[in-house]
Homo-oligomer: A and B are copies of this chain.
Amino acid sequence: MVTPGPEQADPRTVDLGYARLDVDRVARTGDPEVVYGGGKTPEQVIGTLTALAGRHPERAVLATRLSPDAVQALLQEVPEATVDPVARTAVLGPIPPARGRVAVLSAGTADAPVAAEAAVTIAVYGAAVERIEDVGVAGLHRLLAVRDRLHAFDALVAVAGMEGALPSVVGGLTGVPLVAVPTSTGYGTGAGGLAALMAMLNSCAPGVVVVNVDNGFGAGVHAARVARRSGSAASMPGSGPPL
């Protein structure tokens, strides 16, 4: 009844039955391949990840938004992958040499998964990354303690839920390009991250740019692209080896 169209055969595509992979992205954008794990079964995640890694053996492939079951399956069945249960990510293949440096700042403990997703993404996308945790604005001394170090980075990612004030304060302290990530922590009117998102879009600090709620991956992609263009190759000790 429903006729499959003939246009589906495309040399830039790998067909796994349950998904057709666009393996041309590297050529167009210079970025690695990524598997969005949301809504995929563990089998689909593993199949897609290994297929892409087979096609691009020279460079790490990233899987994000893994379910707990997919995390377990990957740990058992793909031991050569580097799995981060907090970030809900897996990486398969060699991490590229880092070029440029990014700091990922996060406000509170509940923001850790999103910050971790951003950090892993940055490394896979080819920049060095450092985590600076628990610098929420309600305890300002923690942020002020690191303020002088911020200028040395090529890009910053600031992750916060609740009222989302962290990027505004950081953006007033430094002119380094800054990406804000709202998280869906909180309750009541804060549930879903809308309060943090709106705060970041309305930041009084100029030049703050924003991604969708919980989108650590998107922030990491942008920050890594910025850092790669800005930074020197050997800018951070220890960031070269794979995870």
Contact = CB atoms under 8 A, between A and B. Distances in A.
Interface of A: 1-5, 7-8, 10, 12-13, 18-20, 22, 24-25, 28-31, 34, 38-39, 82, 95, 103, 107-110, 116, 119-120, 123, 128-134, 136-142, 144-146, 149, 154, 162-165, 168-169, 171-179, 182, 184-215, 217-219, 221-222, 225-226, 229-230, 236, 238-239, 241-243
A146 B7 CA distance: 7
A196 B202 contact: yes
A29 B177 contact: no
A209 B136 contact: no
Contact of A189 (B82, B204, B213, B236): B213
Main secondary structure of the interface of A (DSSP, over half): mixed
A204 B191 CA distance: 14
Contact of A3 (B162, B164, B238): B238
Top 9 A-B residue pairs of the complex, sorted by shortest distance between their CB atoms: A188-B213, A29-B175, A207-B221, A165-B165, A138-B172, A190-B202, A209-B209, A229-B230, A195-B198
B132 A7 contact: yes
A144 B162 CA distance: 23
Given A138-B204, A202-B188, A4 B131 contact: yes
A165 B169 contact: yes
A39 B139 contact: no
A177 B107 contact: no
Contacts of A221: 206-207
Contacts of A222: 177-178, 207-209
A194 B204 contact: no
Contacts of A2: 116, 119-120, 123, 129-131, 243
26 contacts: A1-B119, A1-B123, A2-B131, A2-B243, A3-B238, A5-B146, A22-B134, A25-B139, A28-B174, A29-B172, A30-B175, A107-B204, A136-B204, A138-B168, A140-B144, A140-B172, A140-B173, A165-B168, A177-B222, A178-B222, A188-B202, A188-B214, A194-B198, A195-B201, A206-B218, A208-B218
